[in-house]
Amino acid sequence: MGAAFAIQVMTGKESNVQRLMDWAFSKNENAQKWIKAVHNFTESTVRILSGGNLGKEIKRTIMPGYIFIEMNYSVDENNQSAYIPADVWHLIKSIPGVLKQFTGSGQIIGEEEFRKMLGLDTEEQIEVAIPVQEIESEASKVNETERNMKNALHQVNTASTKEEQVQAEQALEVAEQQMNDLLEKSYEESVGAVGAELKEIEHDAGSNSVVSKIKIFLRNSKEIVRFPKMLLEKIIVRTDSKSKPSPYEVVEQLFKHLRQQLGAS
Q: What is the CATH number of the domain that holds 37?
A: 3.30.70.940
Asked if pLDDT for residue 198 goes beyond 70, the answer is: yes
The reply to whether 157 and 195 lie within a common domain is no
The reply to whether 13 and 92 lie within a common domain is yes
The reply to whether 67 and 90 lie within a common domain is yes
Residue 3: pLDDT band (50, 70, 90) is low
pTM listed for this prediction = 0.50
The reply to whether 168 and 226 lie within a common domain is no
Residue 258: pLDDT band (50, 70, 90) is confident
User: Domain residues for 195?
Assistant: 128-132+191-264
The reply to whether 40 and 114 lie within a common domain is yes
The reply to whether 199 and 151 lie within a common domain is no
What is the pLDDT, as a whole number, of residue 242? 58
Domain final position from 97, 122, 147: 122
Residue 237 lies in a domain: yes
Residue 166 lies in a domain: yes
The reply to whether 9 and 117 lie within a common domain is yes
Residue 175 lies in a domain: yes
Question: CB-based burial of residue 15 (10 Å sphere; 0-12 exposed, 13-18 middle, 19+ buried)?
Answer: middle
Residue 56 lies in a domain: no
The reply to whether 44 and 9 lie within a common domain is yes
Tally of structural domains, the chain: 3
Lowest mean pLDDT among 10-19, 93-102, 118-127, 177-186: 177-186
Residue 206 lies in a domain: yes
Distance in angstroms (rounded) separating the CA atoms of residues 58 and 53? 15
The reply to whether 7 and 83 lie within a common domain is yes
Residue 55 lies in a domain: no
- Name the nearest CA neighbour of 84 among 39, 40, 34: 34
Residue 110 lies in a domain: yes
Distance in angstroms (rounded) separating the CA atoms of residues 113 and 130? 37
Higher pLDDT among residues 207 and 118, named by residue: 207
Distance in angstroms (rounded) separating the CA atoms of residues 186 and 48? 34
At 24-83, the pLDDT tens digits run: 999 999 999 888 888 888 877 777 776 667 777 777 787 888 888 888 876 555 555 567
Residue 180 contacts by C-beta under 8 Å, 6 or more apart in sequence?
none
Asked if pLDDT for residue 237 goes beyond 50, the answer is: yes
Distance in angstroms (rounded) separating the CA atoms of residues 258 and 265? 11
CB 145 within 8 A of CB 175: yes
The reply to whether 115 and 35 lie within a common domain is yes
CB 109 within 8 A of CB 79: yes
Residue 99 lies in a domain: yes
Q: Return the sign of the alpha-carbon dihedral for residues 237, 240, 242, 243.
A: negative
Residue 65 contacts by C-beta under 8 Å, 6 or more apart in sequence?
8, 9, 10, 11, 14
The reply to whether 9 and 102 lie within a common domain is yes
> Between the ranges 9-23, 136-150, 230-244, where is the mean pLDDT highest?
9-23
The reply to whether 219 and 252 lie within a common domain is yes
DSSP-assigned letters across all residues of 188-250: -----HHHHHHHHHHHHHTT-HHHHT-EEEEETTEEEEEEEHHHHHHHGGGS-TTSPPPHHHH
Distance in angstroms (rounded) separating the CA atoms of residues 6 and 82? 12
Residue 228: pLDDT band (50, 70, 90) is confident
